[in-house]
């Protein structure tokens, strides 16, 4: 066993951890921003919009994230001239940009599915009652449908955030030095294979259960009305 | 549209490995999940704790890390231990076996949860009734519990399969010639990475689409006499 390695490479591991956090945060935020219009399209009465949203969701949920990552990172090379002409090549050349793009699109598809499902699950009678009371569509959504949809969706959404956090480990394959990438580099330098990977596994476990703890608190907050009625 | 100069055939041949790893890992996952759920619902405390530890650990670690840990870590660990005992062992994992075992182990944890949920849906009263009718414990299990467990487990297991198939793309990282790796070869040879990876994406979409059809069929079949 060679535990000295861990002390020597501690700063490098921290920088990897930081990139993992950064990627997770960006993917979750940007993914949410993409998921909201996709959800509205999916619930829309316009067939074209619904079909478009559903095909995007089907593609990103039906293919591995690794394929999506390669499609964007390596695939963009095929269109280099075009991308150069419109000034986008400098973005697609960067592994970081491609990683954020792939992770965001991927999580957006799953989140759309979760949100659309949750909104559909809100009791129809409440919507009818709201209309009968003369509420405008916006007010109806804001004070009746969305708060309840959030409650229904929260658990799955929290799980999706944990999934995408773990999925960021794939970016190490396109040369980014996140926690997994750093681990690979340290392993190739020191040959302390199982020591490094076990420690990294423990770090991921710590992040996962840290998130689980926080999300559980949020869930308790969202479900606070249930507790009062139980008393 | 997919002008890959014959390399599309190579990618389709890679499908054989992808499906083989996927199906074998799924089989393993179902077996592990079944016994994992038995352990989780058992009255023996250490067995229950062991199963909980297993599912909680697997849920907390990315698949890629577990795959690297098994493929590179386990042989090194074995060699180090052997060296400690003055033996010289050179151990190399076959990527096919390492990939199948790791994915089966990971998704075994997911199917443990699925089976546990399914076991819980069969009410105790039914088992008591079956015993009261003079069935042996094995008959109770086979004729009363199992058909219902399968029925309730199918949607969950289908989800596990969908995740597992996509996770097989990771075995390309440990040099197995699956769809992903053959696509990489095609991309490099033809200088058309986008076309090649789009082709691979469509193959995975095809697997997903077929899986959905099979799932619908199985659900219908096991819902016979229930509606």
**Residue pair A78/B195 in contact by the 8 Å Cβ criterion:** yes
Percent share of chain B, pLDDT over 70? 98
Q: What is the pLDDT of residue A191?
A: 84
Domain assignment present for A229: no
Domain assignment present for A230: no
The count of residues in chain B is: 227
CA within 13 Å, CB half, A189: 12
Query: For residue range B101-114, what is the model confidence (pLDDT) as tens digits?
Result: 999 999 999 999 99
Range of the structural domain that residue A50 is part of: 4-224
Question: Which one-letter DSSP state was computed for residue A86?
Answer: T
**CA-to-CA distance for B61 and A169, rounded, in angstroms?**
10
Q: For the purposes of burial, counting CB atoms within 10 Å of the CB of A160, is it exposed (0-12), middle (13-18) or buried (19 or more)?
A: buried
Domains of chain B, residue spans: 9-124+153-222
Tell if the CB–CB gap between A172 and B64 is shorter than 8 Å. Answer: yes
CATH 1.10.3720.10 fits B9-124+153-222, yes or no: yes
Under an 8 Å CB criterion, which residues of B touch A?
Answer: 57, 59-66, 68-69, 72-74, 76-77, 80, 166-170, 172-173, 180, 183-184, 187, 191-195, 197-198, 200-201, 204-205, 208-209
Domain assignment present for A55: yes
Query: For residue range A124-154, what is the model confidence (pLDDT) as tens digits?
Result: 899 899 999 999 988 998 899 999 999 999 9
Please name the residue of chain A whose CA is at the shortest distance from the CA of residue B166. A64
Quote the pTM value. 0.90
Tell if the CB–CB gap between B59 and A170 is shorter than 8 Å. Answer: no
Q: Is the ipTM of this complex over 0.85?
A: yes
Query: For residue range B42-73, what is the model confidence (pLDDT) as tens digits?
Result: 889 999 999 999 999 999 999 999 999 999 98
| Number of domains chain A is built from | 1
Domain CATH for A32: 1.10.3720.10
Tell if the CB–CB gap between B62 and A172 is shorter than 8 Å. Answer: no
**CA-to-CA distance for B217 and B210, rounded, in angstroms?**
11
């Amino acid at each position: 066993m060679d535990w000295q390695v861990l002390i020597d490479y501690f700063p490098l591991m921290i920088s990897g951890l930081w990139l993992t956090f950064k990627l997770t945060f960006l993917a979750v935020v940007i993914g949410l921003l993409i998921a909201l219009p996709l959800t509205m399209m999916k619930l829309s009465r316009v067939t074209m919009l619904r079909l478009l949203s559903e095909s995007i969701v089907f593609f990103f949920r039906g293919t591995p994230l690794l394929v999506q990552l390669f499609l964007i990172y390596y695939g963009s090379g095929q269109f280099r001239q075009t991308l150069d002409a419109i000034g986008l090549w400098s973005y697609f050349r960067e592994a970081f940009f491609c990683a954020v793009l792939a992770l965001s699109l991927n999580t957006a598809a799953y989140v759309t599915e979760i949100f659309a499902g949750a909104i559909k699950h809100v009791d129809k009678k409440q919507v009818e009652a709201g209309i009968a009371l003369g509420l405008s569509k916006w007010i109806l959504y804001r004070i009746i449908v969305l708060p309840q949809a959030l409650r229904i969706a929260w658990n799955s959404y929290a799980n999706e955030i944990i999934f995408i956090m773990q999925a960021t480990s794939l970016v190490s394959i396109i040369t980014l030095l996140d926690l997994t990438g750093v681990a690979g580099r340290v392993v190739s330098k020191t040959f302390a294979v199982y020591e490094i990977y076990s420690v990294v596994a423990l770090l991921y476990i710590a992040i996962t259960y840290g998130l689980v703890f926080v999300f559980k608190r949020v869930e308790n907050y969202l479900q606070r009305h249930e507790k009062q009625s139980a008393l | 549209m997919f002008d890959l100069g014959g390399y599309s055939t190579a990618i389709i041949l890679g499908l054989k490995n992808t499906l083989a790893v996927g199906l074998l890992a799924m089989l393993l996952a179902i077996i592990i999940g079944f016994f994992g759920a038995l352990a989780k619902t058992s009255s023996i405390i250490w067995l229950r704790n062991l199963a909980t530890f297993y599912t909680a650990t697997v849920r907390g670690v990315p698949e890629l890390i577990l795959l690297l840990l098994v493929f590179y870590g386990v042989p090194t660990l074995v060699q180090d231990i052997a060296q400690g005992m003055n033996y010289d062992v050179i151990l190399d994992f076959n990527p096919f076996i390492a990939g199948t075992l790791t994915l089966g182990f990971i998704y075994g944890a997911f199917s443990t949860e699925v089976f546990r949920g399914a076991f819980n849906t069969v009410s105790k009263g039914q088992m008591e009734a079956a015993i009261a009718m003079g069935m042996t414990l094995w008959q109770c299990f086979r004729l009363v519990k199992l058909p219902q467990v399968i029925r309730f487990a199918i949607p969950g297991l289908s989800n596990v399969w969908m995740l597992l198939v996509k996770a097989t793309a990771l075995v390309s990282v440990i040099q197995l010639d699956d769809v992903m790796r053959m696509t990489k070869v095609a991309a490099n040879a033809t200088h058309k990475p986008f076309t090649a990876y789009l082709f691979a994406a469509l193959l995975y979409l095809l697997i997903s689409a077929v899986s959905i059809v099979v799932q619908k069929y199985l659900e219908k079949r096991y819902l016979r006499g229930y509606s």
